[in-house]
Amino acid sequence: MLRTNGLLPSSGDIKLQAENLAAQLKPDSLVEDISADHGVVSFTVNRKLFVQKMLEPFGKQGDEKFGLNSELFNNLKRGTTLVEYSSPNIAKKFHAGHLRSTIIGNFIANLKQSLGYNVIRMNYLGDWGMQFGLLGAGFGQFGCQERLKQNPLQHLFEVSLHICVKTDELFYVCVLQVYVQMNKEAEHNENLKHAAQDFFRQLEQQECQAVSLWQQFREITVNEYQQVYKRLGIHFDIYSGESCHLDQAQKVVQQLQSQGLLKTSERGTGVVDLSPDGDMSSVCTVLRSNGTTLYITRDLAAAIDRKLTYHFDEMIYVTDKSQSNHFQQLFQILLAMGHSWAERCQHVPFGLVQGMKTRTGEVVFLEDVLDEARARMLDNMSQSKTTKEMDDPEDTAEKVGISALIVQDFKGPLQSDYKFDWDRMLQAQGDTGVFLQYTHTRLCSYPLIISHVVSIFAPHSEKRKKKDLRFVCSYDEVLYQSAQDLQPKHLVNFLLKLCHLIAFAHRQLPVKGSPQDVAQARLRLFNGACSVLANGMRILGITPVDKM
pLDDT at 58: 61
Enumerate residues 6+ apart whose C-beta is below 8 A from 40. Answer: 5, 6, 7, 18
CB 31 within 8 A of CB 44: yes
pLDDT at 1: 39
Q: What is the CATH number of the domain that holds 369?
A: 1.10.730.10
Cα(39)–Cα(21) distance, rounded to whole angstroms? 10
Count: domains in the chain: 2
* 224-249: b (≥16 Cβ within 10 Å) or e: bbeebbebbebebeebbbbbbbbebb
pLDDT at 432: 96
pLDDT at 364: 64
CB 108 within 8 A of CB 318: yes
Q: Would you say residue 451 has pLDDT above 70?
A: no
pLDDT at 454: 43
pLDDT at 541: 98
pLDDT at 116: 95
Cα(325)–Cα(404) distance, rounded to whole angstroms? 32
pLDDT for 121-175, tens place per residue?
999 998 887 777 777 777 776 777 777 777 766 766 666 655 554 323 333 333 3
Which domain covers residue 20, as residue numbers? Answer: 3-45
Q: Would you say residue 63 has pLDDT above 70?
A: no
Enumerate residues 6+ apart whose C-beta is below 8 A from 328. Answer: 347
Please tell me the least confidently modeled range out of 85-89, 205-209, 514-518, 542-546.
514-518
pLDDT for 290-330, tens place per residue?
888 889 999 999 999 999 999 999 999 999 999 999 999 99
Query: Do the domain assignments include residue 264?
Result: no
pLDDT at 161: 55
Query: Do the domain assignments include residue 435?
Result: yes
pLDDT at 132: 75
Give the mean pLDDT of the chain: 83
Other beta carbons within 10 Å of 19: 16
Query: Do the domain assignments include residue 453?
Result: yes
Query: Do the domain assignments include residue 77?
Result: no
CA 184 and chain centroid, separation: 35
105-124 average pLDDT score? 97
pLDDT at 292: 82
Highest-confidence segment of 59-63, 408-412, 456-460: 408-412
Q: Would you say residue 527 has pLDDT above 50?
A: yes
pLDDT at 458: 43
Helix (H, G, I), strand (E, B) or coil at 354: strand
Secondary structure (DSSP) of 70-112: -GGGGG----EEEEE---PBTTS--BGGGHHHHHHHHHHHHHH
Highest-confidence segment of 113-117, 169-173, 420-424: 113-117
More confident residue, 296 or 465: 296
Half-sphere exposure of 160 toward its Cβ, with a 13 Å CA cutoff?
A: 24
CB 479 within 8 A of CB 91: no
Q: What distances in angstroms separate CA 455 from CA 53, 56, 266, 452, 517, one per listed residue?
A: 12, 12, 82, 10, 6
Q: Would you say residue 452 has pLDDT above 50?
A: no
223-233 average pLDDT score? 92
264-279 average pLDDT score? 93
Secondary structure (DSSP) of 452-471: -------TTTHHHHHHHHHH
Query: Do the domain assignments include residue 430?
Result: yes
- The percent of residues in the chain predicted with pLDDT above 70, rounded, is 81
pLDDT at 339: 98
Secondary structure (DSSP) of 262-298: EEE-TTS-EEEE--TTSSSSSEEEEE-TTS-B-HHHH
Widest pairwise Cα distance in the chain: 96
pLDDT at 224: 84
Active site positions, annotated: 92, 95, 98
pLDDT at 356: 78
Please tell me the least confidently modeled range out of 51-60, 167-176, 454-463.
167-176
More confident residue, 183 or 82: 82
- The percent of residues in the chain predicted with pLDDT above 90, rounded, is 43
CB 349 within 8 A of CB 487: no
Strand order in the sheet with 31-37: 3-7, 40-45, 31-37
> 14: exposed, middle or buried (C-beta count within 10 Å: 0-12, 13-18, 19+)?
middle
Please tell me the least confidently modeled range out of 137-146, 167-176, 412-421, 498-507.
167-176
Instruction: Please name the amino acid found at residue 272.
Output: V
More confident residue, 360 or 120: 120
Query: Do the domain assignments include residue 201?
Result: no
pLDDT at 205: 85
More confident residue, 382 or 490: 490
CB 107 within 8 A of CB 489: no
Q: Would you say residue 419 has pLDDT above 70?
A: yes
DSSP count for the chain of H helices, then E strands: 20, 15
Cα(162)–Cα(473) distance, rounded to whole angstroms? 59
53-82 average pLDDT score? 77
pLDDT at 447: 73
pLDDT at 54: 63
pLDDT for 2-27, tens place per residue?
444 455 455 567 888 888 888 888 88
Helix (H, G, I), strand (E, B) or coil at 149: helix
Query: Do the domain assignments include residue 58?
Result: no
Q: Would you say residue 424 has pLDDT above 50?
A: yes
Q: What pTM value is reported for the model?
A: 0.84
Instruction: Please name the amino acid found at residue 316.
Output: I
Q: Would you say residue 479 has pLDDT above 90?
A: yes
| Tally of residues, the chain | 548
Query: Do the domain assignments include residue 447?
Result: yes
Cα(348)–Cα(24) distance, rounded to whole angstroms? 53
Cα(114)–Cα(95) distance, rounded to whole angstroms? 29
End-to-end CA distance of the chain: 39
pLDDT for 183-215, tens place per residue?
555 556 677 677 777 888 888 888 898 888 888
